[in-house]
Chains A and B, each alone.
Chain A
């Protein structure tokens, strides 16, 4: 149960101008905060996939999903529970690094199956993929080295099994 008010919605939408504006307005009007929004071309030409992570009153969620469904360009909108989906997010974290602590950072990255994608005299960029909690933990460990900046892709989900997400 998502008692914390965090939700994941996946959508298949007709790739038409304005579709993103319409979707954003459904959330904004009802006081839902969008934490992340990932849009990519679907495997079928002319359609897009969206994964929306959002936060808000669970009682409102059903109404939001129905309002999303109601949009003419929406093929489907579904709320997902983590147990029935595989979810992934990617992050790139830029930390202060010098030749002395470089190997320590690389060791941590390895534990998280991350890898260095850029190294300079005073910095390093580490890439890591996993569920959002794993990335949170990874970031926390790197904090002591000094995080210069970081970017996260936002969450994507896909349903387990043969069914459509």
Chain B
């Protein structure tokens, strides 16, 4: 007999799933039983949130769909943060959750949660399967929807009786008749291409602003071709890191709230800004009413709803970045931007990223050395906060699929499990999780998951014993009134590593950074932790205060307290 559970596992096989990240419970037992008879490897996590971030990291490192399997009730609700994270950053993921048996639905039965209802705002699509014969179609749809167009997470909620019942249907050949409302643009119309080319040709000071969409579509090479042909500078978003090599002479690094000063100056002075797979996030635009007022704006994005959501572009290219750029490049002539590039190079020399060389150990120094030692070729995942911004600034990502961070959702606790997922997906690559001491402790138990599989991930804790980004804001905008940011009671992270059977290193002095990071690189018998005890009150600069215009960027701590920011957090 082929049960619903068997069909779910068979769908994983058909979709080329290698790993399923999850944690069992009563309502999902039939599916956990079926997986035993397959070649798919089940990775048991310590918490369902960890499972979602692992699937996410796996997906971002490989471009394939990450898969999560959890039980009903709290097992399912624990995936909500991971779903939000994946949804905000357009990551393909399928989460299958067990559910109470259908006759008990809506009766507050044990471990019943309306996870379908709870997750509606944080998924691309979702299903509650009530008929076992729907499972083949639903699973095929779920993987298709998760990975196509603008990717995102799909939840499939499967009551236990449905998973246990005999399935009498087969996988549909194609989905056209089943998804009449689902379509996504491929190639934009030619008029937009010509209009875009005209604007580019009329520009004297162009800027390409490249985001995650360029990476997802596999357009990194084309972005480079376009930039070189136009001789236009390129800035990337936090998630776009890797879509254009940061070591390239046309790169101005990351833009936005904690972007490089020269990227932000380029934004302020450009006469044309072209977004490629980016969505004019508030971290980028700052005060919208003053953003790039004099510049023409071109928006290339596959999601029609992104066009006009934040800014009204002069030209909209609604389509897949790769297909559109392939065509656009055919219609582009070179520009003479020598004057423009000269000015930008002046800013690069005048306002480089910098950090105090005196005093104690600096996070920036550690990350600068890490970038150097790994030549920007390691896969780097991060949490959210100061360490993330320092890492984005100082880790020069050279290649695509190497930079994995929670951007839109800003999820603390993302980095380490994401590194585990990435290492499963790319076993031959060096994987670093750069995390803060605060975020690390949110998903810390997953160290056991990494240790069990002897994954050689390297967890670099930028330890300042504070929730550092919030502390920085309190210092700058709230007159040093620290509220709820002191992480006293942190464990000894080296001993903690050892208790998980992992290797622990500690860096206290600047002079030890290179040696100890090299030791960590050379250690490959399993996970290791590097506890970098950095200056407690280091700040991230440059900074555009929330709600301020890009031109109001500050590059060092102001002498007087700044007014409380009015913009978004």
Which of A's residues lie within 8 Å of B, judged by CB? 13-14, 17-18, 21-22, 25, 29, 47, 62-63, 66-67, 69-76
Contacts and interface: CB of A to CB of B under 8 A. Distances in A.
Nearest to A28: B121
Interface of B: 116-117, 120-121, 124-126, 128, 130, 145, 179-182, 303-305, 308-309
Contacts of A18: 116-117, 120, 126, 128
B117 A72 contact: no
Contacts of B182: 72
A63 B116 contact: no
A73 B181 CA distance: 5
A149 B116 CA distance: 37
Nearest to A12: B181
Given A14-B180, A18-B116, A75-B180, A62 B304 contact: no
Contacts of B121: 25, 29
Nearest to B309: A63
Contacts, number: 44
B92 to A, nearest CB: 14
A163 B464 CA distance: 65
Contacts of A47: 180
Q: 5 smallest A-B Cβ distances: which pairs?
A: A66-B305, A72-B125, A75-B181, A74-B181, A72-B182
Given A66-B304, A67-B305, A70-B303, A22 B180 contact: no
A63 B128 contact: no
26 contacts: A13-B181, A14-B181, A17-B116, A17-B130, A18-B117, A18-B120, A18-B126, A21-B117, A21-B120, A25-B121, A47-B180, A63-B305, A63-B308, A63-B309, A66-B309, A70-B303, A70-B305, A71-B181, A72-B124, A72-B125, A72-B179, A72-B181, A72-B182, A73-B181, A74-B181, A75-B180
Contacts of A66: 304-305, 308-309
A9 to B, nearest CB: 15
A155 B148 CA distance: 36
B304 A70 contact: yes
B125 A69 contact: no
Contacts of B305: 63, 66-67, 69-70
A70 B152 CA distance: 12
B561 to A, nearest CB: 34
A22 B120 contact: yes
A148 B121 CA distance: 40
Given A14-B181, A72-B145, A74-B181, 6 more contacts: A17-B130, A18-B116, A21-B117, A47-B180, A71-B181, A72-B125
Contacts of A17: 116, 128, 130
Contacts of B128: 17-18
Nearest to B304: A66
Contacts of A69: 304-305
Nearest to B179: A72
Contacts of A62: 308
A39 B120 CA distance: 20
Contacts of B125: 72
Contacts of B126: 18
A47 B308 CA distance: 30
A40 to B, nearest CB: 18
Nearest to A19: B181
Contacts of A74: 181
A74 B125 CA distance: 12
A74 B180 CA distance: 8
B320 to A, nearest CB: 16
A18 B117 CA distance: 8
Residue of A13, A22, A63, A70 with highest tally of chain B CB at under 10 A: A70
A62 B303 CA distance: 14
Contacts of B130: 17
B556 to A, nearest CB: 38
Contacts of A25: 120-121
Contacts of B120: 18, 21-22, 25
A21 B540 CA distance: 42
Residue of B126, B182, B303 with highest tally of chain A CB at under 10 A: B182
